């Protein structure tokens, strides 16, 4: 498949600037844009968001399941063994019409200007669709967009031409996406509903926000010892992951409602409440870090715990007559 010039790319509506969380995390944002660019509806794949949990020090970094990609769209994601120059492997797979997903350093990604580009280092995943080794140029999906990099940035990703590889440096983790000539003939709504029910059967046994609330006093004690800028790290791993996840959950349910599914209004409202509360809490945490006072924040987490209970109860009711009895 040929992709248009990155300059003509427009992000999907799930990345619209007026959303509470226009960017979520590098993996999920990447798949929203890839799925949309391939002509599919990314809202259909978001049922997995109901499985997000609390991991003790962070919210689950929610990721689109590769099995769901294959079931809905026929997209097969496989690990690419790297044993030679990365550039050569990428060129081979892209030449076969595949997208190559590379774990890269955002230091060399121009789209991260003002964040990490040429100033910091951060692990992230890009989806490469086009490469020209002679021109030292590649086009790639990253976060909520589609971009191009060249010259020194190209060398930063692949190493300078003719450079000897340091054997002490591990190869990056790389995958490649096989794109079928024809998408599977499936009833997208029916398949998405079935996946959502299966994910509901796998949701956390314990309310993730109640668990976080129980730990927040300990977190606040630690935050009080940190510099104010540590706010960004904590917020990304908790408020942003929860808020963005549940805004996508609301979008998935709204898409299903638009396709004729009923009884979802309450669950949508509850998921949107979580997304909004997490956004407000993020701003309040920034001020709390400066003052070293964290009062009122645990109550916001408790409000999300209540919204989570309502969301899950409403989804159970909506799908009670079609509940999956064997999620294995």
CB within 8 A of 199, min separation 6: which ones?
Answer: 47, 48, 49, 50, 51
Residue 116 gets which letter from DSSP?
T
**Residues linked to residue 141 through DSSP beta bridges, in sequence order:** 127, 146
Q: Structural domain tally of the chain?
A: 2
Spatial contact of 214 and 245, defined as CB atoms under 8 Å apart: no
**Entry pTM:** 0.93
How many other C-beta atoms lie within 10 A of the C-beta of residue 40? 18
Instruction: Give the range of the structural domain holding residue 196, as residue numbers without chain letter.
Output: 188-322
Nearest alpha carbon to residue 89 among 101, 106, 77: 101
Assess whether 316 and 214 both reside in one domain. Answer: yes
Q: Supply angle C-alpha 110, 66, 178, rounded to 5.
A: 75
Query: Largest alpha-carbon pair distance within the chain?
Result: 63
Assess whether 195 and 135 both reside in one domain. Answer: no
Assess whether 144 and 106 both reside in one domain. Answer: yes
Give the span between the Cα atoms of 121 and 96, in whole angstroms: 31
Assess whether 169 and 28 both reside in one domain. Answer: yes
Assess whether 197 and 150 both reside in one domain. Answer: no
Assess whether 289 and 314 both reside in one domain. Answer: yes
Assess whether 136 and 248 both reside in one domain. Answer: no
Assess whether 235 and 292 both reside in one domain. Answer: yes
Q: Is 311 helix (H, G, I), strand (E, B) or coil?
A: helix
**58 domain-assigned:** no
Provide the pLDDT for residue 168: 75
Q: Out of 129, 150, 178, pick the residue that ends a domain.
A: 178
Phi, psi of 127 (to 5 degrees): -115, 105
pLDDT tens over the chain, length 328 residues: 778 899 999 999 999 999 999 999 999 999 999 999 999 999 999 999 999 999 999 999 999 999 999 999 999 999 999 999 999 999 999 999 999 999 999 999 999 999 999 999 999 999 999 999 999 999 999 999 999 999 999 999 998 887 777 777 788 999 999 999 988 899 999 999 999 999 999 999 999 999 999 999 999 999 999 999 999 999 999 999 999 999 999 999 999 999 999 999 999 999 999 999 999 999 999 999 999 999 999 999 999 999 999 999 999 999 985 544 434 3
Assess whether 121 and 245 both reside in one domain. Answer: no
Q: Out of 178, 204, 230, pick the residue that ends a domain.
A: 178
């Amino acid at each position: 498949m040929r992709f248009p010039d990155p300059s003509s790319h427009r992000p999907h509506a799930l990345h619209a600037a007026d959303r509470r969380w226009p960017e979520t995390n590098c993996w999920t944002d990447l798949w929203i844009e890839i799925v949309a660019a391939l002509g599919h509806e990314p809202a259909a794949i978001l049922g997995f968001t109901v499985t997000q949990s609390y991991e003790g020090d962070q919210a689950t970094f929610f990721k689109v399941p590769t099995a769901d990609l294959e079931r809905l769209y026929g997209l097969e994601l496989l690990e690419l063994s790297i044993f030679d120059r990365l550039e050569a492997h990428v060129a081979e797979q892209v030449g076969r019409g595949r997208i190559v997903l590379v774990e890269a350093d955002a230091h060399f990604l121009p789209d991260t200007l003002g964040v990490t580009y040429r100033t910091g280092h951060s692990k992230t995943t890009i989806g490469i669709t086009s490469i020209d080794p002679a021109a030292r140029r590649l086009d790639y999906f990253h976060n909520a967009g589609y971009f191009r990099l060249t010259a020194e940035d190209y060398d930063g990703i692949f190493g300078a031409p003719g450079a000897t590889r340091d054997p002490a440096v591990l190869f990056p983790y790389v995958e490649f996406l096989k794109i079928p000539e024809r998408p599977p003939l499936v009833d997208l709504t029916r398949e998405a509903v079935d996946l959502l029910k299966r994910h509901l059967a796998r949701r956390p046994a314990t309310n993730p926000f109640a668990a976080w609330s129980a730990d927040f006093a300990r977190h606040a004690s630690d935050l009080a010892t940190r510099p104010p800028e540590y706010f960004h790290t904590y917020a990304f791993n908790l408020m942003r992951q929860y808020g963005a996840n549940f805004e996508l959950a609301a979008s998935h349910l709204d898409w299903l409602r638009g396709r004729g599914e009923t009884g979802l209004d309450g669950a949508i409202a509850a998921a949107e409440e979580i997304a909004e509360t997490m956004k407000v809490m993020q701003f309040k945490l920034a001020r709390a870090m400066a003052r070293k006072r964290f009062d009122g924040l645990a109550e916001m987490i408790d409000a999300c715990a209540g919204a989570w209970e309502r969301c899950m109860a409403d989804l159970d009711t909506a799908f009670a007559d079609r509940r999956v009895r064997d999620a294995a």
